[in-house]
Amino acid sequence: MCGFVGILGNEPAAPRLLMSLQAIQHRGQDAAGIGTVHEGRIHVRKGLGMIHAAVSSMKGLTGTAGIAHVRYPTAGKSSSAEDAQPFITRRPGILLAHNGNVTNVPEVKAQLREQGIVVLSECDAEPILLVLEQELTAIRQAGHTSEDLKQALAGVFARVRGAYSVVAVLELDGESTLIAFRDPHGIRPGVYGRLADGWIASSESVALDVLMVDKAGDIPAGACLVLRAGQDAQILEVSQPEPRPCVFERIYFARPDSIMEDGRINRTRWCMGRQLAREWAAKGLSADVVVAVPDSSRPAAMAMAEELELRHREGFIKNRYSGRTFIMPDQNTRELALRLKLNPIREIFEGQRVLLVDDSIVRGSTMGRIVKMVRKLGPKELHIAVFSPPVRNPCFYGIDMPSQDELIAARLSEDELAAHFGADSLTFLSRAGLAEVSGPKICAACFDGEYCVPVSADERAAIESNRRG
């Protein structure tokens, strides 16, 4: 998972890029970068860590068009400076960043190598950039038209498979153009809006909100959005769209105040919670109090409480300053690290029949520690409700998930998981219930194994080995 912002206007781009990028810092803390274009010259500052560490100064980031990026590695080594985005080419001048996973990277790299082009990083954005550069220069050296751009993108879509949402500034024929495109399934998110003096595109609408810009639309799947200052947005339809947006964005990754595709994430999580409440009640279970595991579970927990006519209480205080949980050497230190992050309030749990609501269970290690922590506070009963179906398959489309053998719900049933964690019951939202809320046209491959972009055994192996770094 990563996040991007692209801006093109008449005012300096860098300060606005920095503001907007901070709104999507949750999409990646591993590296960050900002690139701008001024009089045909591209300037980039990028580095490791959170935004203020990676881009400590904006000196030299001149120009009214640019791109900013936060990185969370799903391909490429973690903490590797050469994998930080944006990436650039000089002739033609292209500044590009992306969010997603290219599933056929080895094939794309082999094609490029045959033509004498070496990909230097392990980041998927670089092959996308080099293919775009090739496709653009194959058409002509100058005088590019919209039809040329469409043709170049058709070449990119034909050669690059997977899930990618891309933003780029093109320096063609002495003019800056902001473009944004998503793969034909539109798996990874992307939105755009109109500035007073130009355009902005980003992974999430909250990056527009900080500049007080309304979302104009989603970056269309299988198309290229062309944005120029002083002109209306142009949509070049390149490939037949078959939208399958990632439902995990709605469950966990996106900010609750973001608007994606069909609605605000907060509302979607609320509807998932309401649906889960019906399924939970149908099992004949009951509780006294509903407690969310903060933060993404809060709207679903509130909806469950409302639907079940139960009290909703904040049972955990989250430490906003605890930073990242690094790999801890032993069980005891891992438990302390969780306690540092999440401190439970004894009286909310003691003697109560508690319904604990979480967004998902992946490896199960965090849930195991939370249950252990809560059990020490003496609840009468402890029930777990998860507002997503069991994660049984890895993601090859840009979300950092472990391989299948590490996914606990791929091995254990609901009852077995409850026993494993030490809870009285565990209930997942059903796959049908998820469809009830989010409709049928979603990517839910990590739940149901239906991958809309086929991934061969070799490609799976390459992605998993790259993920391990």
Return the active site residues.
Answer: 2
The answer to whether the beta carbons of residues 235 and 213 sit under 8 Å apart is no
The answer to whether the beta carbons of residues 6 and 201 sit under 8 Å apart is yes
List the one residue out of 321, 340, 320, 337 whose CA is nearest residue 329: 337
Q: What dihedral angle (degrees, nearest 10) is formed by the CA atoms of 309, 319, 391, 205?
A: 90
Could you tell me how many residues of this chain bind ligand SF4 (CB under 6 A)?
11
Segment interacting with ligand SF4 (CB under 6 A) among 5-13, 407-415, 423-431, 442-450: 442-450
Question: Which residue number, 246 or 290, has a Cβ lying nearer to ligand SF4?
Answer: 246
Told to check if 446 binds ligand SF4 by CB under 6 A, we report yes
Told to check if 290 binds ligand SF4 by CB under 6 A, we report no
Told to check if 445 binds ligand SF4 by CB under 6 A, we report yes
Q: Smallest distance, Å, CB 188 to ligand SF4?
A: 7
Told to check if 252 binds ligand SF4 by CB under 6 A, we report no
Alpha helices in 388-430 (DSSP H): 414-421
- Name residues contacting ligand SF4, limited to 123-152 (CB under 6 A): none
Question: Which residue number, 5 or 401, has a Cβ lying nearer to ligand SF4?
Answer: 401
- Cα–Cα distance list, 49 to 25, 60, 76, 195, 233 (Å): 11, 20, 15, 29, 34
Question: Which residue number, 150 or 363, has a Cβ lying nearer to ligand SF4?
Answer: 363
Interface map 178-217 toward ligand SF4 (x if CB under 6 A): ---------x------------------------------
Q: Smallest distance, Å, CB 203 to ligand SF4?
A: 14
- Cα–Cα distance list, 64 to 14, 18, 167, 178 (Å): 8, 13, 15, 11
> Six-digit token pair at 54?
């990676």
Beta strands in 157-230 (DSSP E): 162-172, 175-182, 191-195, 198-202, 215-218, 223-227
Residue 426 phi, psi dihedral angles, 5° rounding: -140, 130
Q: Which of 195, 443, 453, 463 binds ligand SF4 (CB under 6 A)?
A: 443
Q: Smallest distance, Å, CB 395 to ligand SF4?
A: 3
Q: Smallest distance, Å, CB 249 to ligand SF4?
A: 7
Question: Which residue number, 225 or 445, has a Cβ lying nearer to ligand SF4?
Answer: 445
Told to check if 254 binds ligand SF4 by CB under 6 A, we report no
Which strand (E) or helix (H) includes residue 314?
Answer: none
Told to check if 54 binds ligand SF4 by CB under 6 A, we report no
List the one residue out of 287, 274, 255, 433 whose CA is nearest residue 356: 287
Segment interacting with ligand SF4 (CB under 6 A) among 36-44, 66-74, 371-379, 437-445: 437-445
> Six-digit token pair at 65?
């068009």
Q: Which of 54, 169, 395, 437 binds ligand SF4 (CB under 6 A)?
A: 395
Residue 321 phi, psi dihedral angles, 5° rounding: -110, 15
Beta strands in 240-284 (DSSP E): 259-260, 263-264
Segment interacting with ligand SF4 (CB under 6 A) among 274-282, 417-425, 444-452, 453-461: 444-452
Told to check if 397 binds ligand SF4 by CB under 6 A, we report yes
Query: Rounded CA gap, 224 and 179, in Å?
Result: 7
List the one residue out of 288, 438, 271 whose CA is nearest residue 356: 288
- Name residues contacting ligand SF4, limited to 219-248 (CB under 6 A): 246-248
Question: Which residue number, 181 or 248, has a Cβ lying nearer to ligand SF4?
Answer: 248
Binding residues for ligand SF4 (CB under 6 A): 187, 246-248, 395, 397, 399, 443-446
